[in-house]
Chain A
Amino acid sequence: MTSAQNDAFGVLVRKLSRLSALSEADKLAVAELPFRMATAPPGAHLVREGDQVTECCVLLRGYAFRYKTTADGNRQIVSFHLAGDILDIQHLLLSRADHGIETLTEASVAWVPTTALKTLVEERRSVSEAIWRDALIDASIFREWVLNVGQRDAKSRIAHMLCEFALRRETAGLGTPERFELPMSQQHIADATGLTAIHVNRMLMALANDGVLERDRRDVKIADWELMRKAGDFDASYLHMAA
């Protein structure tokens, strides 16, 4: 193993360590996974629906999202992802991609052969538990998003999405939840919340007028976290502390 290889998976090791107590040998085994490194510009398709997949995609730097589209091409973003996330852990056992994955920003990704990842989880119980927990928390986030899009009003949907993003960003060690740069455009937010970009713009303005957030282009400051949490009907327990 080279030190470059060890460094590459540092962010993944840290994430898996938040999900399960990994021994030093577990961490070394993760760091020694074979991979193919790639960088991608914003808007790059990492996986397309229908692809036959033989490698899992680990996001090492930047932001990405998962999405599905209707037959007439309308896109629903189903989750946002940050460094350390395995973007398609389902491909460990399901070989056909049932949705697409795209970068939000310039990103670095490591493609890991599913066979190598499968061997790792078969041989190491703690790593297996971490990946199980990750997949289950993914499912919990999807359930919360269904609730968000199906039952909350426009302003709450956006506030909820921003709360989740801020908190996950903090948990991943990417900075304070109070002030951050939004990697997504208003169209991305619209596609994640089932709204139009016009509505998103109005609702961000309304949240600013309510004193909940301040923004300057993509720089967002949550001016009052408690108000923001209330506006978004946000209860972080569905993130199970580790996401």
Chain B
Amino acid sequence: MGQASFQAITLDTGNTDEQAVLVLKGGRLAAVLSHLSDLHGDLAGLWFVEAMFGNPPRRPRHTFASPDEFAAWLDAAGA
């Protein structure tokens, strides 16, 4: 599937978790990650998987330190 690339986007969440990235693999949209805001206390600054597409493993419930860390997780999961 090749390297993941990221494209910044603004989410219409109705709250402060609006900074996000689209995760693209092979030119296709694989996932949407949001950058957690101060709304989430200790989790602020981490990345949360809002959605995954294609034939992915189960959407992880845990957060990631960066989009790169998520891409590595996705590779390790074989997606």
Contacting residues, chain B, for A198 (C-beta < 8 A): 36, 40, 43, 48, 63
Interface pair B39/A205, CB less than 8 Å apart: yes
Residue B15 at the A interface, CB < 8 A?
Answer: yes
Interface pair B15/A205, CB less than 8 Å apart: yes
| CB-contacts of B1-29 with A (<8 A) | 13-15, 17
Q: How many A-B residue pairs have CB under 8 A?
A: 21
Say how far B41's CB is from chain A's closest CB, in angstroms: 8
Say how far A194's CB is from chain B's closest CB, in angstroms: 11
Contact of A206 among B14, B43, B61 (CB under 8 A): B14
Chain B residue total in the interface (Cβ 8 A): 12
Contacting residues, chain A, for B61 (C-beta < 8 A): 74, 196-197
* Residue in chain B with minimal CB distance to A191: B61
| CB-contacts of A182-217 with B (<8 A) | 196-198, 201-202, 205-206
* Residue in chain B with minimal CB distance to A198: B48
Interface of B is mostly: loop
Residue A122 at the B interface, CB < 8 A?
Answer: no
Contacting residues, chain B, for A72 (C-beta < 8 A): 58
Say how far A174's CB is from chain B's closest CB, in angstroms: 29
Mask of A41-80 contacts with B, CB within 8 angstroms, 1/0? 0000000000000000000000000000000101000000
Interface pair B17/A202, CB less than 8 Å apart: yes
Interface pair A202/B15, CB less than 8 Å apart: yes
| Most chain B CB inside 10 Å of its own CB: which residue of A74, A198, A205, A206 | A198
Interface pair A202/B13, CB less than 8 Å apart: yes
Contact of B15 among A74, A196, A206 (CB under 8 A): A206
Alpha-carbon distance between A197 and B43 when the two chains are bound, in angstroms: 11
* Residue in chain B with minimal CB distance to A72: B58
Alpha-carbon distance between A10 and B61 when the two chains are bound, in angstroms: 42
Say how far A216's CB is from chain B's closest CB, in angstroms: 14
Alpha-carbon distance between A202 and B14 when the two chains are bound, in angstroms: 9
Alpha-carbon distance between A24 and B16 when the two chains are bound, in angstroms: 59
Alpha-carbon distance between A197 and B46 when the two chains are bound, in angstroms: 14
Given A202-B15, A205-B15, A206-B14, 15 more pairs with CB closer than 8 A:
A72-B58, A74-B58, A74-B61, A196-B48, A196-B61, A197-B61, A198-B40, A198-B43, A198-B48, A201-B39, A201-B40, A202-B13, A202-B39, A205-B39, A206-B15
Residues on B facing A (Cβ under 8 Å)? 13-15, 17, 36, 39-40, 43, 48, 58, 61, 63
Q: 8 nearest interchain CB pairs?
A: A198-B48, A196-B61, A202-B15, A201-B40, A205-B15, A205-B39, A201-B39, A198-B40
